[in-house]
Amino acid sequence: TCSFSRSPKGFPKLKNDTFLRAARGEETEHTPVWCMRQAGRYLPEFRETRAAQDFFATCRSPKLCCELTLQPLRRFPLDAAIIFSDILVVPQALGMEVVMVPSKGPTFTEPLKEVEDLLKLRQKVDVTAELGYVFQAITLTRHSLEGRVPLIGFSGAPWTLMSYMIEGGGSSTMAKAKSWLYRHPEASHQLLRLLADVITDYLVGQVAAGAQALQLFESHAGHLGPEQFQDFALPYIRDIAQAVKSKLKEEALPLVPMIIFAKDAHYALRDLAHAGYEVVGLDWTVRAQEARAQTGKDVTLQGNLDPCALYAPKEKIGELVKKMLEAFGTQRYIANLGHGLYPDMNPEHVGAFVEAVHAHSRHINKH
């Protein structure tokens, strides 16, 4: 249960630190595993908890976020929890209105159309005032986990958030957002810089609240080619890692491991490995051997089973997991899917995935 009864600090002692050890490149008895979107609509209890609530109202309720974060851990022996929230809380903190439209997804009531629209955004954001509800959710969840597993905090990366703010929602081409990069490069950098600064403060605030690792989601990296990624995504990804780390030091907060997940940015793996993150997340389109060759020995890899593999029969899931572990090796590796779980997935198949990672990695480590 999620109750505010305990003191805000004095968190319970961590019992399973396998995920953190793997992230830092230390040896582990088994390969740790968690899933993107593990707190999600594939769980009937999630749908029940969320049923009566507006999506963003749920995000603003620390109690509900805590409950949703814990649900998958009651079912599966996952090695990490990730706080239930959404990447679009950052544009909201900048003053934009985002609503969740049924069967359409997140929608901005007034997306950015012209360069002048940047003036409507808050230029200085007090993250505690605007996003304090996420910090409260993290603190509450960290206590409620009772040290079972580490808690991951996260944010969207600047380009991904910028693309939503201009497109006004999802898009298959990102043509409006990309046209800004070509037509208004200076204004694009101005917006990306503003986002990077807010994200930095937001991530530091999450650690202060109790997050034990951080993931930056550059979910729309695949819409950029190598050159635009180099100009408009990578510099901000690098800056965020550096700025978060120096602020954590300044504020005497724990230096938590950071994960960069840039979906479909296979062309940038080498750069991402040197961007200041302990872990590089991979989508399912990347071969394990190539990823290892590109990223070298100093980062941990995370990923990358095709989420749709979970539609396969359970025995088949086990075989695919074994192949994946043999390809990546069991050390300096965190097992995950190559993207989030889909709403129509069978929870038992998620369980089969998690258990297969533990069983096969233990077996490989013994022999």
Decide if 277 is catalytic.
Answer: no
**Cβ(30)–Cβ(330) below 8 Å:** yes
Catalytic residue among 164, 202, 277, 333: 164
Give the relative orientation of helices 127-144 and 185-209 as an angle to the nearest 10 degrees.
40
DSSP 53: S
Q: Do the Cβ atoms of 260 and 279 come closer than 8 Å?
A: yes
Helix (H, G, I), strand (E, B) or coil at 15: coil
The per-residue pLDDT for range 148-159, each reduced to its tens digit, is: 999 999 999 999
Which residues, 6+ apart, have CB-to-CB distance to 133 below 8 Å?
59, 60, 61, 62
Q: For residue 308, which of 330, 284, 325 has the smallest C-alpha distance?
A: 284
Assessment of whether the complete model's pTM goes beyond 0.85: yes
Terminal-to-terminal C-alpha distance of the chain: 40
Is residue 60 annotated as a catalytic residue, yes or no? no
Instruction: For 221-270, write each residue's pLDDT tens digit.
Output: 999 999 999 999 999 999 999 999 999 999 999 999 999 999 999 999 99
Question: 6 an active-site residue?
Answer: no
Spatial separation of the C-alpha atoms in residues 103 and 265, rounded to whole Å:
28
Burial 64-83 (b: 16+ CB within 10 A, else e): bbbbbbbbbbeebebbbbbb
Among the options 6, 24, 75, 86, which is catalytic?
Answer: 86
Q: Which CATH architecture has domain 32-366?
A: Alpha-Beta Barrel (3.20)
37: annotated active-site residue: yes
Q: State the DSSP code for 313.
A: -
CA distance 8 to 4: 8
Q: For every one of its 367 residues, what pLDDT tens digit does the chain have, with 9 covering 90 and above?
A: 665 544 457 999 999 999 999 999 999 999 999 999 999 999 999 999 998 889 999 999 999 999 999 999 999 999 999 999 999 999 999 999 999 998 899 999 999 999 999 999 999 999 999 999 999 999 999 999 999 999 999 999 999 999 999 999 999 999 999 999 999 999 999 999 999 999 999 999 999 999 999 999 999 999 999 999 999 999 999 999 999 999 999 999 999 999 999 999 999 999 999 999 999 999 999 999 999 999 999 999 999 999 999 999 999 999 999 999 999 999 999 999 999 999 999 999 999 999 999 999 999 999 9
**Cα separation of 334 and 20, whole Å?**
10
41 has catalytic annotation: yes
Catalytic residue among 17, 21, 42, 50: 50
6, 24, 41, 75: the catalytic one is 41
How far CA 5 is from CA of 58, 134, 209, 274, in Å, comes to 21, 18, 16, 42
